[in-house]
Amino acid sequence: MSTKTPESPTGAASAEERSAFALDVEERSLRDAVSDWVGKVRTGDPGALPSVLGLIALGLIFSLVSDRFLSAFNLGNLPGQGAYIAAISLGLVFVLLLGEIDLSAGTAGGAAAAITAVGVSNGSLSDGLPGLMYWSLLVGLLVCLALAVWLKAYSAAVVIAVGFVLVVANFTQYLIPGLIAAICIGVAIGVFNGYLVAKVGIPSFVVTLALFLAWQGVLQFALSGQPVNTSRYALWHDLTYGNLSPLWSWIFVVVVVGGFIAYTVNKSLRARRAGLSRDGLQLVLLRGAIIAVVAVVLTLWLNQNRNTNPYKVISGIPVPAAILIVLMIICTIALTKTTWGRHLYATGGNAEAARRAGIDVTHMKVTAFALCSGFGAVGGILLASSQSSASLDLGSGNVLLFSVAAAVIGGTSLFGGRGRPLNAILGALVIAIIPNGLLLRPSLGAQWQQVITGVVLLVAAAVDAVSRRRATRG
Amino acid sequence: MSDPILETRGLNKSFGPVHVLHDVDFAVYPGEVTALVGDNGAGKSTLVKCIAGINGIDSGEIRFNGEPVTIADPRAATDLGIEFVYQDLALADNLDITQNMFLGRETTRGRMFLSDGEMERQARDTLASLSVRTVSSVRQKVANLSGGQRQTVAIAKAVLWNSKIVFLDEPTAALGVAQTRQVLDLVRRLADQGLGVVLISHNMNDVMEVADRVAALYLGRIAAEVHTQDTSTTQIVELITAGRSGDIGLPAVVASQA
């Protein structure tokens, strides 16, 4: 980072010259915001539009398919059913922003979660894993640690080192350190992916396709052909089946929504004092109020008992929803408020421009892949939780493809440079709502699920392509 | 006349058996636009890359403010205050004007977090100081800009950093009439603010209009360095194509042998 303080060569401009940028100091009112948004959609950046429209359309259809669809019990299950897709999809956003792809995030995450499952169920990884595999894991972690240091991905190196310590010291016999170790192993796998893509120069599609296959085998080695029941571990089970208590639900909502409103209001006021472009206070407050009302209504609704069975009370915000909202906020901050995020968008938009601006493109790729596989591990953990088992096909099959579809439906470009974490979550909701709705009417076979998912993806891609073509024409 | 701010003396550069630059003496003066002209393959790009630190030099020296300097890599050139605007501009379409201008050199709080407001203000000040009136908002995405506006942003990006010298590679090549006008005005304004500007161009109208002096490269040699007011388009074209024109330029022997 340069320490030079940038200054315009002739110093500050006179007030009169500044008037040339009248738009900058103008406040964005509600009307401007709406017309900006319409303009964006028209110029090929539909953003969340396809996923929101998709959610509404599917919601309408499924409410006709079954009157149980809109019940609190059913919708309360939705976050748990889609959490693993959302987590993997969040990670994929980083890689997709670079115009790369990671097909292995699902199976890598599955393998990482399976190692945790073996650790906690067996009490010792060195006994639980086949002999050669335990040592391969240690060596692999060290190699990835060295790669991370060499490629200057120091934060990834620290994470991998933590994972190494957890494995060697056999802390993986306890659940929480075990889950952390799974994420660390995921990050190590991601560093390896990044090395192969950015340094060796193999196209990411091929690298991750090869590893997609390889990690499935590793997963079966790790489990020695025996699935591990994860519902025995209350915490693991609750990751997708648990709910925050009504009190904690309120605390969560107040912190998240209150934090958002406080941040945007403060930003608007500060920008007004500094004479910068900003969203007008009216717009900020209106947006905040809408979000607050929706959040309060949802929480009130979720805090009621939604179980149809009188023996157990189910109420509160589902834990997976809370986890993903927190992860999404962290991802959004990382992408929009840090230099790293800015450089990631720049590298995805124009790698050559980024390189000339002094950005280490290799470093960006390695960190993006590391994050992606780390989120893959989170996805693997959530998937094992939701199917109550670290099964022999954990994270394989359609898992990764559904996650890519979620990101794309959410408006992430496969060519890089465009995409937001929030939209990946919305896309994952679209993907998750399809099996949810269809299973309510068992007479509609599972075959419908794939057909409908395919059609939805196609429609989303078509909306994207059409809006982009209009952009180039206009 | 002031001393040159940047000067090359006896610069030689070969790529294998191909001797690309022969004893090139080239000077850039503060407050002046120096046009660097020459046919394709004359060595313009190589000369620029040597100064940019992309290519090493075989012999000769580069002087900055009279002091000999070694420019080992692009960062060294940037640190001296030499900026380059290449033909492909190197802007990220998906970022806005401010983000592009500060790319790789973002202003931060606590080393990690961007201070967007501060960058926005400085971007606006820089554009205003260049009297740019064609850009309505520094929060516009670069994808939505016209060719002239993009060129403007690329140039503004180069002068944002207290730079002393700006190299512009064919800045008007892809532009329409009105936009060419805007960019040439901007080039002139840079020099009027005391920067040394090097304009690499094939367009003699642009050169005659905006440059103070013209350095013509002919097959790796500086054929002549002339003041624009003392010369004509015809003469420059002769220098470019034949290496000599009347009694100025390379000696006939050198010109014909090469």
| Residue of A119 and B117 predicted with greater confidence | A119
Mean pLDDT of A320-330: 96
Same domain as A399, residue A279: no
Q: Which strand (E) or helix (H) includes residue B202?
A: none
End-to-end alpha carbon distance in chain B = 34
Instruction: Looking at the structure, tell me whether residues A396 and A377 fall in a common domain.
Output: yes
Pairing status of strand B244-245 against strand B248-249: antiparallel
Minimum Cα–Cα distance from B121: chain A residue: A276
In a domain, A32, yes or no: no
Contact between A12 and B125 using a beta-carbon 8 Å cutoff: yes
User: In this complex, do A346 and B92 lie within 8 Å of one another by their Cβ atoms?
Assistant: yes
Chain B: residue whose CA lies nearest to A26: B137
Q: Kindly state the percentage of chain A with pLDDT values over 70.
A: 91
pTM of the model: 0.88
Residue range of the domain that includes A330: 46-242+318-473
3-state helix, strand, coil in chain B (%, to 5): 35, 30, 35
* pLDDT above 70 for B247: yes
- Asked if residue B123 has pLDDT above 80, the reply is yes
Is A399 part of any domain? yes
Residue A417: inside a domain, yes or no?
A: yes
> Angle A319-337/A246-274 helices, nearest 10 degrees?
20
Q: What is the pLDDT of residue A459?
A: 83
pLDDT of residue A277: 78
- A2, pLDDT greater than 60: no
Last residue of a domain, one of A270, A299, A317: A317
Residues A255 and A300 placed together within one structural domain of the fold:
yes
What's the topology of domain B6-88+163-257?
A: Rossmann fold (3.40.50)
pLDDT band at residue A313 under the 50/70/90 scheme: confident
Instruction: Say what the ipTM of the complex is.
Output: 0.83
> Are A326 and A190 contained in the same domain?
yes
Element (H, E) at A279: strand A278-279
Task: Say what the pLDDT of residue A108 is.
Answer: 96
Whether residues A453 and A326 share a domain: the answer is: yes
| Bridge partner residues of B167 (DSSP) | B84, B198
Same domain, A298 and A439: no
Q: Do B127 and A4 touch (CB under 8 A)?
A: no
**B109 against A89, higher pLDDT:** A89
Polymer length in residues for chain B: 258
Query: Where residue B250 falls among pLDDT bands split at 50, 70, 90?
Result: confident
Decide if pLDDT at B93 tops 50: yes
Characterize the bridge pairing of strands B165-169 and B82-85.
parallel
Give me the CATH number covering residue A324: 1.10.3470
Whether residues A345 and A434 fall in one domain: yes
Beta carbons within 8 Å of A459's beta carbon, 6+ residues apart: A50, A54
State the average pLDDT over residues A256-267.
Answer: 93
Whether residue A474 has pLDDT greater than 60: no
Q: What is the mean pLDDT of residues A201-216?
A: 95
With a CB cutoff of 8 Å and minimum separation 6, the contacts of B28 are B4, B5, B6, B7, B34, B165, B196, B197, B198
Number of domains chain A is built from: 2
Query: What integer is the mean pLDDT of A460-464?
Result: 76
Nearest CA in chain B to A351: B92
d(CA B87, CA B65): 27
Per residue in A9-32, pLDDT (tens digit) is 433 333 333 444 444 556 777 777
A255 and A394, same structural domain?
no
Helix orientation angle between A246-274 and B116-129, rounded to the nearest 10 degrees: 20
Is A343 among the domain residues? Answer: yes
Give a yes or no: residue A19 inside a domain.
no
Order of strands, edge to edge, in the sheet holding B82-85? Answer: B82-85, B165-169, B196-200, B33-38, B213-218, B221-227
DSSP assignment, residue B19? E
pLDDT higher than 70, residue A389: yes
End-to-end CA separation in angstroms for chain A: 39
Point out the residue among B94, B117, B125 whose CB comes nearest to the CB of A13. B125
**Nearest-CB residue to A352 (from B90, B100, B102):** B90
Verify whether the Cβ–Cβ distance A9 to B91 is below 8 Å: no
Angle subtended at Cα A70 by Cα A69 and Cα A71, rounded to the nearest 5 degrees: 95
Sheet order of strands, B18-28 included: B18-28, B6-15, B59-64, B67-69
- Same domain? A266 vs A401: no
Shared-domain flag, residues A138 and A158: yes
**Which of B78, B124, B162 is closest, CB to CB, to A18?**
B124
Q: Which of A274, A356, A418 sits opposite B117 (nearest CB)?
A: A274
DSSP string, B178-193: HHHHHHHHHHHHHHHT
Tokens in use for A45? 């950046």
3-state SS string for A218-268: HHHHHHCCCCEECCCCHHHHHHHHCECCHHHHHHHHHHHHHHHHHHHHHHH
Q: Cα separation of B122 and A377, whole Å?
A: 42
- Given a cut of 70, whether residue A256 has pLDDT beyond it is yes
Q: Which amino acid is at A133?
A: M
Q: How far, rounded to the nearest angstrom, does the alpha carbon of residue A216 sit from its chain's CA centroid?
A: 22
- In degrees, rounded to 5, the angle at the alpha carbon of residue A22 between the alpha carbons of residues A20 and A26 is 165
SS3 A387: coil
Query: What is the C-alpha separation between A366 and B44, in angstroms, rounded?
Result: 37
Q: Which residue, of A300, A317, A334, is where some domain finishes?
A: A317
Alpha-carbon distance A6 to nearest alpha carbon in chain B (angstroms): 5
Residues in chain B within 8 Å Cβ distance of A18? 124, 128
Convert the pLDDT of each residue in B128-153 to its tens digit: 887 777 777 888 888 888 888 888 88
| Residue A5 within any structural domain of the chain | no
Check whether residue A83 and residue A111 sit in a common domain: yes
Query: Which residue type, as a one-letter code, is found at position B41?
Result: G
- Is B112 in Cβ contact with A277 (below 8 Å)? no
Among A317, A352, A381, the domain boundary falls at A317
**8 Å CB contact of A358 and B105:** yes
pLDDT band of A96, cuts 50, 70, 90:
very high
Two tokens, residue A262: 């406080």
Above pLDDT 90, what percent of chain A?
Answer: 58
Q: B21-54: per-residue pLDDT in tens?
A: 988 899 999 999 999 998 888 888 889 888 988 8
The per-residue pLDDT for A215 is 95
